[in-house]
Structure 1
Amino acid sequence: MNVDARSLDDLEPDDARPASQQIANVLRAAILTRKFAPGERLPSQNDLAERYGVARETIKSALRILRDDRLVVTRQGSGAFVRAQTERPVGLRPHIEAAFERPHVTLDFSGFSSETLHGAIQEPLDKIRAGRLTPESVVIRILLPDLSLPTVIPSRVEPAGDDPAVRERAARIARRNIEAITESVGELGTLGLVRNATVEVRAHGTTVLSKLYILNRDEVFFGFYPVVTNTVSVDKQPVTIFDVLGKDVPLFHYATSGEDDDAADQFVHQARTWFDSVWTSIAHEYTP
């Protein structure tokens, strides 16, 4: 939605309450009336300070009020975001772009093929090439299923069971996206646009039925892959398979807030722990 600070309501000149409280009220109204959608970033502190002719400390106080009301979460270096209720799916791309505004970017992904990851990072990578984003480092880790092994998903519906040709079709999709991600990120380092730009990929032998993004270790997006029947071309013949529906899967957003006993903080911590445990134990180097 990207609401500009200039489109926010003016303050009431006869209101005797502190400016921070008035600004908090304006932002609260904008959030509750969905001018700002769940997960969307608010205008920057500088933009809000200029809009209302106040010091940044006043804006910080207003944001603290909204944070205490559990309407926003603030993350150093990224700004303030409307708190996304855990039952409401939100968009991934604005958060990935915000993650790339940090000096040091980390992105961990676990999923089936990395196809959506490839699409989601294209805009921030283009902005780095154009000089509009200038991170010092970009480090991406990707966990994928090992499709050289027999799998439950993808597999044939009839006759039921694993089929190496069906797996190879899925493996080609994964290879295509992994190669594109690796080349586009590596190019940033080759051109000297990013001091350290790396992509590391590992595979594991378990069935993948969910996708996970961890942005800068403090923000998580999680979604389930529905299992569907899908007719695809294998060796130029139509074959009906059990497959996962990956594109447009609703993602649920969790971000650290620094608040004690916050469920989102606990989810982010557990997601990091899970990813690191798989990465360092059963995962092995990905072989295209």
Structure 2
Amino acid sequence: MARRLRRFQERFEPLVTRALLLGIFATGLLAQFVKPVGDALEGKAFLGGALLSLVGYVLYDQVKELSASVRVPARVLVNSSEQGTFVGESFQARKVEISFLGYTGETLYNALYHRLEDLFDNPGPTRRVTIRMLVPDFGLPMTVPSRVGTDDSPVDDPEFRMRMEGRCREYDSILSELAERLTANSRVAVECEYRLYQGIPRDKVCIFNRQQVLHGLYDLSVRMRLEHMGPEFYDPKGFRTDLNVWSREGTAAAEAAVSTWNKHFDDLWTLARIPPWRQRPAP
């Protein structure tokens, strides 16, 4: 309802304002040169008021544009734990598109899983959902994640990498199975796909319906242990990452940033590799 009222205001406010300004201008001129009208309004400075109204009319569009250019988004920085809110807002659209670039995507996966399950009972306006998840290629040697070696140097650890790959494979399997059931048994068509990019998980990016972008940087110095006295591993914690919010409804710079991130993600997606767990064996 709030969005509808805002769209209604944005649509009719310029028209009403211009009509009022022109009305004041016309009335001022009429009162200046038509004595009965001037006497009725009991005014003495109609011409000056009319000219000021005309100036206001001419400057109105420029003021509107300036106001839009300096508008500050309602939210400029959020924590990764708030991604669920953005997921919920995205599913108010008929066509939903959510894209992720980062580490394992665990925080986003949890929000997506619960929202997709809700579609069985409450699809709302949603009729199509596309989910794209870009995660690192854990089949290649990596500096992050890795084992902490001598002098804090990173040491590639294939076993730990496979642990992270197994986690992504599990998320992919669960979301894909859920997507198939929704497509077969509901009014919503759902597609979910994982792909792999080369490199370390540095950027965390979430794109919602190509309209909003959340972007932050992983803390690559974070360490963890699988066992109390076991070795340490470099293992970024995405749920602790703070994310900048870019929206097409914000400033011109924000809209440009959203367009840039959309193109960047699309390019990475095209270059990304299909995971080995999704590849079909050759006949």
| TM-score, scaled relative to structure 2 | 0.69
Three-state SS of the structure 2 residue aligned to 1:238 is coil
**Residue number among 194, 198, 201 corresponding to 1:205 in the alignment:** 198
Shift in alpha-carbon separation, 1:254–1:156, aligned structure 2, 3 A: same
Shift in alpha-carbon separation, 1:274–1:59, aligned structure 2, 3 A: closer
Residue 188 of structure 1 aligns to which amino acid in structure 2? L
Q: How does 1:216-231 map to 2 (within 5 A)?
A: 216-227=209-220, 228-231=222-225
Distance 2:195 2:260 in 1: 20
Identity of aligned pairs, percent? Answer: 25
Deviation at 1:68, TM superposition (A): 7.2
Alignment partner, residue 278 of structure 1: 268
Three-state SS of the structure 2 residue aligned to 1:280 is helix
For residues 192-220 of structure 1, give each alpha carbon's deviation from its aligned partner in whole angstroms, at most 9, with x where no partner exists: 331x2111211022111121111111111
Alignment partner, residue 256 of structure 1: 248
Which ranges in structure 1 are unaligned for 5 or more consecutive residues?
A: 1-41, 49-55, 74-81
Which ranges in structure 2 are unaligned for 5 or more consecutive residues?
A: 16-62, 278-283
Larger-Rg structure: 2
Give the ranges of 4+ consecutive aligned residues of structure 1 lying more than 3 Å apart after TM superposition: 42-46, 56-73
**Greater relative contact order, per chain length (Cα 8 Å cut-off, separation 6+):** 2
Alignment partner, residue 85 of structure 2: 94
Aligned length: 224
| TM-score, scaled relative to structure 1 | 0.68
Distance 2:64 2:219 in 1: 36
**Structure (1/2) with the larger helix percentage:** 2
**Residue number among 258, 278, 287 corresponding to 2:276 in the alignment:** 287
Deviation at 1:112, TM superposition (A): 0.7
Shift in alpha-carbon separation, 1:175–1:279, aligned structure 2, 3 A: same
Shift in alpha-carbon separation, 1:131–1:224, aligned structure 2, 3 A: same
Distance 1:241 1:120 in 2: 27
**Residue number among 143, 149, 155 corresponding to 1:161 in the alignment:** 155
Alignment partner, residue 119 of structure 1: 110
Residue 103 of structure 1 aligns to which amino acid in structure 2? R
Three-state SS of the structure 1 residue aligned to 2:246 is strand
Three-state SS of the structure 2 residue aligned to 1:244 is coil
Three-state SS of the structure 2 residue aligned to 1:129 is coil
Does residue 188 (structure 1) correspond to residue 182 (structure 2)? The answer is yes
CA RMSD of aligned residues (A): 3.1
For residues 61-94 of structure 1, give each alpha carbon's deviation from its aligned partner in whole angstroms, at most 9, with x where no partner exists: 5799999745999xxxxxxxx82354x3263222
Shift in alpha-carbon separation, 1:155–1:198, aligned structure 2, 3 A: same
After superposing the two structures, state which structure 1 stretch, 236-245 or 208-217, moved more.
236-245
Distance 1:175 1:68 in 2: 49
Distance 1:223 1:67 in 2: 30
Q: Tell me if the contact between 1:45 and 1:60 (Cα under 8 Å) persists in the aligned partners.
A: no
